[in-house]
A and B are shown apart, each in its own frame.
Chain A
Amino acid sequence: MARNSDTDWQTHMGDDTLREMACQELVEVITDYLEGTLPKSDRARFDAHLATCPGCREYVEQMRVLIRLSGSLTAKSIEPATRDSLLRAFQRWRDSQTRL
């Protein structure tokens, strides 16, 4: 494959496994990295980059913290009135079952 330019990292994404990962690329593949779906060669580039870049280490950590924070948001449930009416419906259903 012909190389366009040494500095145009975007067009080289994936076709040069030895190329150093740029920060701008890292922030776009971070979800694949965290999901475990990043190809092995890119994963190695990702890890190698992290080892030398404090800015990206902070970025990855922020993503992890964000996921933890999201996990502590409480999920909004149904209205109490809906819940009550469901429990009443259950009692009616149960009574109709036992009559059979």
Chain B
Amino acid sequence: MPVTNGRYESAVTLQTGDRTSEAELIERLRHGDEAAFTWLVDTYSPSLKRLALAFVSDDEVAEEVVQETWLAVLTGIGRFEGRSSLKTWLFKILTNRAKTRGVREKRTVRFSELGPEDEYGPAVGPERFLPPDHPNFPGHWSIPPHPWSGMAEQAVLRRETMEVLRRGLEQLPRSQRTVVTLRDVDGWPAHEVCAALELSEANQRVLLHRGRSRLRSILETYFAEDA
């Protein structure tokens, strides 16, 4: 079984680990193996939908784009030469289709440009730090982080914590939400997120940083209230 969502494995391991099993999967698909198709659909559809939502406005359109992508896979699989990975090919088809739909809806999103909602906001408010002219400890914590990292692992077991995180993620500006979700929820490596969203490495990191910083602060507030 291909390990395509192996979290935090190096890209190299994923690539070499994938190629053989991927070739087999493509062969099975060409021969009409329904189990292979079902596996692919179940494995990749969540990420495909997430990526579609980066370019089109509503859920229904995103579903349609995902569906069109799979149909395009069926008509194109005979010609697929395996020069890129199946995953890359799949996401390329999706991105092209999603963009076309986005244009039609007059809603193109250029990820390479950060939106106004991504304007600079510090990861932690300046009121939490000593002023720059402090004689001994400029820029050091005046109000250190409320400690919660030790209790969070048990908190995973609590649905409420995960609900807070899920809601926080939904509230992020769309570009941040897309990057954080693909990286941290779906476990994509950075270079794949950059390729799919046509984003520079630097901007990808900026969006990831702002999104994660915001989520950390939401969890801190939640645990502080809980204490």
Give the residues in chain B near A61, CB-CB below 8 Å.
149
Q: A7-B132, A67-B212 are in contact. Are A82 and B67 (CB under 8 A)?
A: yes
**A37, A62, A73, A86: which contacts B162 (Cβ < 8 A)?**
A73
The answer to whether B219 has its CB under 8 Å from any CB of chain A is yes
Task: For B38, give its contact among A73, A87, A89 (CB under 8 Å).
Answer: A87
**Secondary structure type dominating chain B contacts:** helix
196-217 of chain B: CB within 8 A of chain A: 201, 205, 208-209, 212-213, 215-216
How far apart sit A25 and B122, CA to CA, in the bound complex (Å)? 10
Q: List chain A residues, Cβ under 8 A from B42.
A: 77, 83
Known: A27-B124, A72-B156, A83-B45. A78 touches B144 (CB 8 A): no
Determine if B212 and A66 form an interchain contact, defined as CB atoms under 8 angstroms apart.
Answer: yes
Number of A residues contacting the other chain (C-beta, 8 Å)? 50
Instruction: Tell me if A27 and B123 are in contact (CB < 8 A).
Output: yes
- Which residues of A does B touch, CB under 8 Å? 7-10, 22-25, 27-28, 30-32, 35, 37, 53-56, 58-59, 61-67, 69-73, 75-79, 82-83, 85-87, 89-91, 93-94, 97-98
